Chains A and B, each alone.
Chain A
């Protein structure tokens, strides 16, 4: 039932391995997939928080989760595009792939809203509210993790000076 989250994890793991080393081996792919599955776990937790409640859900939680991850297709395609483009230092610029990220950023909320309407049987306003909550939680978690990883605070202080 969790086939789609598993596929997203494999795409993420392979994409990381390929952009990071420009090659793949079984051990490398298993390792990167396992490590980056933490991101999938976080997404599952956020998704569960989002649709655990609705009584009018048309399918069970596991199936709903599986269907929910269909909304990850734009980001999966973007990750594969990054692999295809992956710049070596000093060669291609990174800007095109960053700009291309606008496409999944725009499509994903629409797909989640559709999921809320079709699978969770929400009306339009409730679907928009739930999608907004999901995006705020997801991007909030991402920005927090990114801020920690790059030591954002000293950079902000430097910027303010």
Chain B
């Protein structure tokens, strides 16, 4: 009897996983704005190995499913995830992967995208941003709220390319929205063209692209995305469909931002849910049946 139940549990897991395969991707046709193509990017994504749970090649597929064109791999002060991805015998499909790191220092965190090498964290934010530029990347003030703004003096604000203004902190912290908005306003007052960035700071829990950045790029490439950030041709989009950035650009992606805010897994499809819960029930049964056998 136990053996038959165990087989049934295995079958549930297999059926669940294969039903999940049938889920339709959310990929939509790219928007255009004049000569620019509008790309959706998440500039702050943690991955395995590091303090993110999903490896980059799977995140690339998941990001595409979530309607993203690119994600930046930003683990804390290391790039092992990028090295592992490069060493894989296959090219990841899905969204473009941008190498980077989250520079985690005293008084500031900085999402770095597009660099070829690690940047030392033991330096002032302005110097770190300059080093990022030397390495060919862009520097973004990451979740600048509370203690993590003390390192951003005026010199640092002049040096960074963008500011995270849409981030899950605006929902998780009481004063998150106010703090990020104030920091963005401060940065914009010094440099009106500073890029508005929306990022998920993804670690373990779905979804990647919860907050995102619409980038007005010349073409669909990493170089064009970084160039757009340097020009400030971006609009940040939060998970409730609000946009932040230049008014004309914001207007052109307002509908896309609202659509992204309601996309699964915020509102999971029937197939998605069925596949996941079949798998979950099968695993639960296997764990419990296994335990029972041990006691015998």
Contact = CB atoms under 8 A, between A and B. Distances in A.
A19 B287 contact: no
Contacts of A99: none
Residue among B171, B279, B286 with most chain A CB within 10 A: B279
Contacts of A96: none
Nearest to B204: A19
A143 interface: no
A158 B106 contact: yes
B193 interface: no
A149 B204 contact: no
A22 B104 contact: no
Contacts of B107: 158
A158 B265 contact: no
A80 B284 contact: yes
B291 A21 contact: no
Contact of B105 (A10, A25, A148, A154): A154
Interface residues of B, number: 56
B264 interface: yes
B204 A20 contact: yes
Contacts of B206: 19-22, 86, 88
Contacts of B248: none
Contacts, number: 153
Interface string A1-36: 001100100110011111111111111110110011
A151 interface: yes
A52 interface: no
A21 B54 CA distance: 9
A28 B61 contact: yes
A157 interface: yes
Contacts of A18: 276, 279-280
B192 interface: no
Contacts of B53: 16, 19-20, 32, 36
Nearest to A86: B205
Interface string B17-57: 11011010000000000000000000000001111011101
B208 to A, nearest CB: 8
A17 to B, nearest CB: 7
A149 B117 CA distance: 18
A45 interface: no
B286 to A, nearest CB: 6
Contacts of B23: 23, 25
Given A31-B57, A158-B107, A21 B207 contact: yes
Interface string B255-296: 000000000111010001001100110011011001100100
Given A11-B287, A24-B276, 19 more contacts: A7-B286, A14-B17, A14-B279, A14-B280, A21-B54, A22-B207, A25-B21, A26-B21, A29-B17, A32-B48, A35-B49, A36-B53, A67-B294, A77-B284, A77-B287, A80-B284, A90-B168, A154-B121, A158-B107
Q: 6 tightest A-B contacts by CB?
A: A90-B171, A22-B265, A151-B76, A89-B168, A151-B104, A149-B51
15 contacts: A7-B286, A14-B13, A20-B205, A22-B268, A24-B279, A26-B17, A26-B20, A35-B48, A89-B171, A90-B172, A149-B49, A154-B104, A154-B121, A157-B106, A158-B106
